[in-house]
Structure 1
Amino acid sequence: MHALQGSLFDQADETGLGPLRGLRRTELGAGAWVDHLPGWLTGADALFERLAAEVPWRAERRQMYDREVEVPRLLAFYGEGEPLPHPALTTARTALSRHYAAELGEPFATAGLCLYRDGRDSVAWHGDRNGRSATEDTMVAIVSVGDPRDLTLRPRDGGATLLRLPLGHGDLVVMGGSCQRTMEHAVPKSARAVGPRISVQFRTRGVR
């Protein structure tokens, strides 16, 4: 795993959260939208180091056509009621649940973590359509720490990329409305020399 290139703009040792009033919404069409707030979480580099060292990361293999392949990233999952691996994540989830209460109608309940070790790690085009999100509008809130990697979004039936956001160093993105049903998102491989990144995905009950 490549070394993390720390942010020159975030040298805080203590992890904290900024105000959510700076969120900016992009409407993607068909009822899908994305909220984005760069640098929401301060002390993100210190948090990355803690999570990278202390989370029980696991590698997974998945069936692809006629062979089994290694998933190109490391994973961890914290189900409803399980303590999260750092108090800052609990605070972030609570703040997001409060901010989106009127639109979401329920709190964020779980946390999935992905560790992208370098530019070779990625996630292919997909929507989070397991569970209730296959038929209902929902939200996925993602906090990223570590070196930035692009999150790209396009319509589910293919076509041009509608949005490309470099996420890292405490950035927040929230995919809402019909986004998981009508859009796809991906973290493409990168040919550039990039350091590791961790994304923390908060979801509601019954959504994966």
Structure 2
Amino acid sequence: MSVTFQGSLFDSSDEPALGPLAGHVVRHELSAGAWIDVRPRWIDGADDLFAHLHDTVAWRADEREMYERVVAVPRLLAWFGERAAWPHAVLDEARERLGDHYEPELGERFVTAGLCLYRDGRDSVAWHGDRIGRGRSENTMVAIVSLGSPRRLALRPRGGGASLSFTLGSGDLLVMGGTCQRTWEHAIPKTAKPVGPRISVQLRPRGVL
């Protein structure tokens, strides 16, 4: 069941604008050198950004092989590389702001953006780490900007252990860092609750997918 996205009561601006990071990001230490940073409502006017991306991005439906058959990926996708024109100026600004804030710790800047459109509660992403490329063997960071309806991002240690979750609302920022992609897994679970569409923007350094 799908429902129309309802805008956030916290949005005070129709034009998207970024808030500060320093002094507003809360770090959650996990285990084995992994950590999560959370900055609620980083983007003011996030509903306008959601609507723009929803209506203008060239979303694609992908398929993948699973258990000897081809199945549809349960979300729509888009990707913007280093030389691509990103779909909104505030995402370019977000890339630069995140680079300024995290480069001293990361040692490099964010250069690509992967977008996922979760159309309703049936769309999801299974447990995984971003381990294609350098994320398999090196510490890295993945920054997630959430837009649209709130969804739960769940995390668990690889190999078993207690899980935790964060409900990400429109305009929220979550950054996974340290060993997180190698020692933890994350997922957006399906839900039977009537939820509206959500867009996830994942910013990554070069060579991390």
| TM-score, reference length from structure 1 | 0.98
List per-residue Cα deviations over 1:129-178 (Å, max 9, x = no partner): 000010000000000110010001000113321x2111121000000000
Cα distance in 2, alignment partners of residues 54 and 168 from structure 1: 21
Cα distance in 1, alignment partners of residues 158 and 88 from structure 2: 34
Decide which of 55, 59, 62 is 1:60's aligned counterpart: 62
Q: Letter of the aligned partner of 1:181 in structure 2?
A: R
Cα distance in 2, alignment partners of residues 193 and 72 from structure 1: 16
The alpha carbon displacement at 1:23 in A equals 0.4
Q: How many residues align?
A: 207
The alpha carbon displacement at 1:79 in A equals 1.1
Deviates more, 1:75-84 or 1:130-139: 75-84
Q: Which residue of 1 aligns with 2:134?
A: 132
Query: Unpaired segments of 5 or more residues in structure 1?
Result: none
- Identical-residue share of aligned pairs (%): 63
Q: Which residue of 2 aligns with 1:186?
A: 187
Q: Letter of the aligned partner of 1:168 in structure 2?
A: G
Cα distance in 2, alignment partners of residues 57 and 11 from structure 1: 28
Q: Which residue of 2 aligns with 1:206?
A: 207
| RMSD, aligned α-carbons | 0.8
Cα distance in 2, alignment partners of residues 77 and 156 from structure 1: 27
State how 1:76-155 maps to structure 2 within 5 Å: 76-155=78-157
Runs of 4+ in 1 over 4 A off after TM superposition: none
List per-residue Cα deviations over 1:12-39 (Å, max 9, x = no partner): 1110011102100001110000000110
Deviates more, 1:4-13 or 1:170-179: 4-13
Q: Which residue of 2 aligns with 1:176?
A: 177
CA contact (8 A) 1:168 1:197 kept: no
CA contact (8 A) 1:2 1:195 kept: yes
Q: Which residue of 1 aligns with 2:33?
A: 31
Query: Unpaired segments of 5 or more residues in structure 2?
Result: none
Matching of residue 165 in structure 1 with residue 166 in structure 2: yes
Q: Which residue of 2 aligns with 1:4?
A: 5
SS at match of 2:60: coil
Cα distance in 1, alignment partners of residues 95 and 152 from structure 2: 22
Q: Which residue of 2 aligns with 1:40?
A: 42
SS at match of 1:39: coil
Cα distance in 2, alignment partners of residues 131 and 94 from structure 1: 23
SS at match of 1:60: strand
The alpha carbon displacement at 1:54 in A equals 0.2
CA contact (8 A) 1:151 1:167 kept: yes
Q: Letter of the aligned partner of 1:5 in structure 2?
A: Q
